[in-house]
Each structure stands twice: as structure tokens, then as C-alpha cells.
Structure 1
Amino acid sequence: MNVELMPLEPAAGASWDPPSPAEASKAVPGGWWDPSLGNLRIDEGTLGVGMAGHAYAAVPTSVSRARRFAVACLAEWGMPAAADDLGLIVSELVGNACRHAVTGRIPSRTRVLLQLRPLPSIDAVVCMVSDPETRGPAQAPTDRFAESGRGLGLVAAFSREWGWSTVAGQGKVVWAICGSEPR
């Protein structure tokens, strides 16, 4: 990963055109979101052949725990090549959820849910992170010396595509597809 190659301008936004594989699936938000995994409580998780999910409290230590979980899922699914990109994407999405979904809430009781699905037909994995906040992610303008604000630019740079959807009465899901396809 060479972060120095990242543009400083927030030009790389969420992908909306043309319809993504997520939209084409006509499933729930993100195309692969599993509502049954939405019942996981904080610190509960599951890993199966075609899905994985884990719920975290919206606290800083959850970011590294989520990253380790995601990389372990890839190893289980025989997809270690995507580990670096997925680790970065999970860190950014879970970190954003932990920072921005807690307004007016108690962080240790605010749930951030990570779901992963392998997409072997396109040699990729979809990462989905939900939180109770309905406002969508917004890329902050940054300058060369800013210490934060580049997270969504990194997600855009290290994923095939990304986007977000609201979930009626439950907040939003931010998703990203990452795999071996050249960016």
C-alpha cells in the first residue's frame, strides 16, 4: 500500500453509476446484507462458508479487533491475497462508525456490525459495516498536512467500489468490494 499516491482532493466518492453488483442483486441494502446477522449482540460473531458477521461496541479497541476478524475470515475462505486491502477498509469503516455513530449515545452500548461475504465468482469479498446513524458518510476536505479526513479516499482507492444505504429504522450500511481486480 502506498498512501502517498492518494489524491488530496475528495474526488473519489461512492460509486453510484453504473449499477453495481450490489444493486443488481436486488437483495437487502448492499445486496448481500443478511438481516439475521443483524441480531448479533455486542461481542458476538459467526463465521461460515459464505458469510461472517461480528458485532462490536463503538469504542476504539473495536477497530483492531474487527480488522483481525476480517483477516481471519479471508484465511478461512482461502482468500489471503485481499487481506491488506480488506484490513485497511475494515479499519476505516469500523473506525468511522465508532467515531460518528455515537452522537447522543453511549459508545460502549452502541453497536457497530461488520458483515463479510466472499464473492468467489469475481475473486472478491464484500465488507459491510452498519451503525445506528442514518446520515451517510461524507468525505472531509483535507490538505497535505491534515492528520485525519482521508478515510473515505482510502476506501475508494483500495476497493473496487463502495457505497452506502439506509436501513429502515436501523441506521445505515456502508459497503465496499475488495479483491484482486486492478484498481
Structure 2
Amino acid sequence: MNAELVSSEQGSGTSWSRPSLAEAPRVPGGRWTDPLGGVPIGRTERASDTVTRSFGSVPDSVSEARRFADRVLAEWGVTEVGDDVRLIVSELVGNACRHALSPGRGPEATPVVVRLGRTDDPREVACLVADSSDRLPRKVDAHHFAESGRGLSLVAAFSREWGWNALSGGGKIVWAVCGGRD
């Protein structure tokens, strides 16, 4: 699916105020240094409140990232947000694999980095996906029968909040927070 925020209603407007990681300080990884170079492809790093894994920019990475998310959520005992996190990981990793190819590097050598983080609410999980593309998520108007263009509308529907940040060295992080407050 395409990671573009889509309005499925004719004439619904396109206003959207994008929060940044700085405006959501409880999101682990808000101060994520070197997300694209810190974890080699195929490796996992763990910290007290985050687990990070780097994938190649290939189609199989989408299902691998879903399995990664399932394992981490099971370890943390927050499987109730599993469906939402899997959907969000699928959308964001799929988009990154489609759009984030580094010049001079093949897809297997272009990282897509997924970080799952625990917040101060034990029922809440933050999902962050970093890629090397400078193409930022953007709104488009898609017709009800369009075959693509609804990725970020799904992310918005299945998360409490989401946003993105450009990286200073190129690339971006797209993040979403699932679960938590009832």
C-alpha cells in the first residue's frame, strides 16, 4: 500500500497538522541518533525500552518486520495491540521498501530500520520506521475505488497519533503510537 494520507471523502479538505517527535516526547526514540547507520541490516539491538531491527529494502522485509513486531510484543506482554502494530509496520515498511533506495546501493544494502518502543503507559507501544528516502509522506485525494493511496489513512485510523520527521543527513522517520489511553 502507499503511505500517503488519503481522504476518501470528496471535498473533505486536506488540512492536517503533523505532530513531530519533539511534540510527542513520550515516544521512545524521539532522540534517535543515526537510525540508518546504527544497526547493520539483519541485526537487532535492544535497550531498556526499545528494540530496533534493520531490514534490507526488499519485499520480504515486510513480513519479516511483522514477525519481528509479534515477537517483541509477546516479550513485552502487550499482544492486545498486535493487530494495529502489525498493520502499521506493514504499511510503513512496505512504503520504505518501495521508495527508499540509496543511489549506488542495491535494495539488499539499503536499510529500513524498525524501532518498537515502550512508553510510560505499559499498554502503549510506539512504532518508528526510518528510511533513506527524502520523499516525505504527503496527502493525496484518492477516489473510493483507487488501488493505492490509503496507507497513511490506515496508519492514522489504527494509531492514537502519528507523524514524521526528516533526518538531518537525509531520510526520514515515520512514527505511530498504538494502544494506551482508553
Distance 1:51 1:108, change over 3 A: same
Return the alpha-carbon distance in structure 1 between the equivalents of residues 35 and 113 of structure 2.
12
Question: Match for residue 16 of structure 1?
Answer: 18
- Greater helix proportion: 1
Question: Match for residue 70 of structure 1?
Answer: 69
Could you say what secondary structure the match of 1:66 adopts?
Answer: helix
- TM-score when scaled to structure 2? 0.81
Distance 1:13 1:129, change over 3 A: farther
Contact 2:21 2:27 in 1 (8 A): no
Contact 2:21 2:164 in 1 (8 A): no
Question: Match for residue 166 of structure 1?
Answer: 166
One-letter amino acid of the structure 2 residue matched with residue 137 of structure 1: P
One-letter amino acid of the structure 2 residue matched with residue 57 of structure 1: G
- Once the two structures are TM-superposed, the CA of residue 16 in structure 1 deviates from its matched residue by 3.0
Q: 2:176 matched to 1:181?
A: no
Contact 1:53 1:116 in 2 (8 A): yes
Contact 2:36 2:132 in 1 (8 A): no
Question: Match for residue 83 of structure 1?
Answer: 82
Correspondences of 1:1-183 after superposition (within 5 Å): 8-9=8-9, 15-16=17-18, 22-25=22-25, 31=30, 33=32, 35=34, 38-102=37-101, 104=103, 105-121=105-121, 123-182=123-182
Could you say what secondary structure the match of 2:141 adopts?
Answer: coil
Gaps of 5+ in 2: 1-5
- Once the two structures are TM-superposed, the CA of residue 102 in structure 1 deviates from its matched residue by 2.0
Contact 1:23 1:31 in 2 (8 A): no
Distance 1:103 1:33, change over 3 A: closer
Return the alpha-carbon distance in structure 2 between the equivalents of residues 32 and 12 of structure 1.
29
Could you say what secondary structure the match of 2:42 adopts?
Answer: coil
Return the alpha-carbon distance in structure 2 between the equivalents of residues 162 and 27 of structure 1.
10
Distance 1:83 1:99, change over 3 A: same
Gaps of 5+ in 1: 1-5
Return the alpha-carbon distance in structure 2 between the equivalents of residues 125 and 41 of structure 1.
23
Distance 1:14 1:79, change over 3 A: farther
> For residues 51-106 of structure 1, what are the alpha-carbon distances to aligned partners after superposition, in whole Å with 9 as ceiling and x for unaligned?
10000011111001001101111110111110000000000010111111127452
Larger RCO, structures 1/2 (Cα 8 Å, 6+ apart): 2
Q: Among the aligned pairs, what percent are the same residue? A: 47
- Once the two structures are TM-superposed, the CA of residue 127 in structure 1 deviates from its matched residue by 0.6
Return the alpha-carbon distance in structure 2 between the equivalents of residues 166 and 106 of structure 1.
22
- Once the two structures are TM-superposed, the CA of residue 122 in structure 1 deviates from its matched residue by 6.1
Distance 1:86 1:119, change over 3 A: same
Root mean square deviation, CA, Å: 3.0
